[in-house]
Amino acid sequence: MNNSPNKPDTGPEIGPASTMAGNEDPRLVSRRWFLFKASIALNGIVGVVLAVPIVRYLLSPWRKDASYKSWISLGSADSFPTGETRLAFYKNPSAHPWDGQTDNVACYVRRMATDQFRVFAINCAHLGCPVRWFPQSQLFMCPCHGGVYYADGSRASGPPERGLFTYDWQVVSGELRIDAGQMPTLSNTAKLVKVSLGQGDGSCQG
């Protein structure tokens, strides 16, 4: 194409272009090519050997959900009044010193009866935004796309496909504990969930 209409007239150039092994011994030439190919193969092997640890390093966060999760205390079970939904906080178990405030995770605790709890993730089941609890109307509302959930976590309206994510809980010597440590997403139920009322169940495995 039209790249060098005014190319200046240059003299003989220094460089590899002009000399070719015109009258060299073909055996010598083929040996050079063999060495060239062997050196490429050597680098290929070293590359593969190096790639294994590099790929493993890159994939290191890809772990089983269980390895990220553990039982975390939300404080005394008595601090959650029966019949009410309260915001609670915990520190994510896999915290680094440089996480700042990002490992302060919030969740909602609803105490239905003395020994009956339900712990909801704060993340909307649609796209993970933080839902807000309105005790007056007994609804959770999401500020992002307007997902609404009833007090039991089941879907009330809006784009979410399911109810709020819940954590497994247990009460051990008066302390409410939840099995947490991972941002809840749809990843364990990536299939579509039929939208209907009363689908608040489903744990925070994801």
Partner 1 sequence: MNPTPRRQRPGGERPGAVKCIYDWFERRLQLEGPVKDAALHQVPRDTASWWYVFGSAAFTLFLLQIVTGILLALVYVPSAGQAWNSLNVLNHQIELGWFLRALHGWGSNFMVAIVLIHMAQVFLFGSYKFPRELTWILGVFLLLMTLGMAFTGQVLRFDQDSYWGLGIGASIVSRVPFIGGGLVHLLLGGPIIAGDTLSRFFALHVFIIPGALLLFAALHIWMVLKLGINEWPMPGRLVHRATYIAEYNKLAHEDGIPFIPGAFWKDLVFSGAMLAAVAVCAFVFGPFGPSGQPDPSIIQTVPKPDFFFLWIYTALAYLPPEMETPFMLIAPLLAIALLLVIPFWAGEGEKSWHRRPVAVLAVSTIAICFGVLTQLGTTTPWSPHMNAWSSDTIPVHYLKTATPLVRQGAVVFQAKQCRNCHSIGGVGGQRGPALDDVATRMTIDQLRFKVVTGGGNMPAYGKNLSAAEVTAVVSFLETLHPANEPPAYDAARRAVENAHGLPAPAAPPAGSPASPAANP
Residues from 65 through 84 that contact partner 1 (CB under 8 A): 65, 68-69
**Looking only at residues 183 through 202 of this chain, which bind partner 1 when binding is defined by CB under 8 A?**
183, 185-188, 190-192, 195
Cβ-based neighbours of 183, under 8 Å, separated by 6 or more: 123, 128
The one among 27, 53, 62, 81 contacting partner 1 by CB under 8 A: 62
Half-sphere exposure for 136 (CA within 13 Å, toward CB): 0
- Nearest-approach distance from CB 202 to partner 1, in angstroms: 14
Q: Does 63 bind partner 1 (CB under 8 A)?
A: yes
Contacts with partner 1, 105-134, as mask; x by CB under 8 A: xx---------------xx--xxxxxxx-x
Cβ-based neighbours of 170, under 8 Å, separated by 6 or more: 71, 176, 177
7 versus 27: smaller Cβ distance to partner 1: 7
- DSSP-derived letter for residue 203 is B
**Looking only at residues 134 through 173 of this chain, which bind partner 1 when binding is defined by CB under 8 A?**
134, 136-139, 141-146, 148, 150-151, 156-161
DSSP conformation letters of 118-170: EEEESB-TTT-PBPEEETTTTEEE-TTT--EEETTS-EEESS-SS---EE-EE
23 versus 98: smaller Cβ distance to partner 1: 98
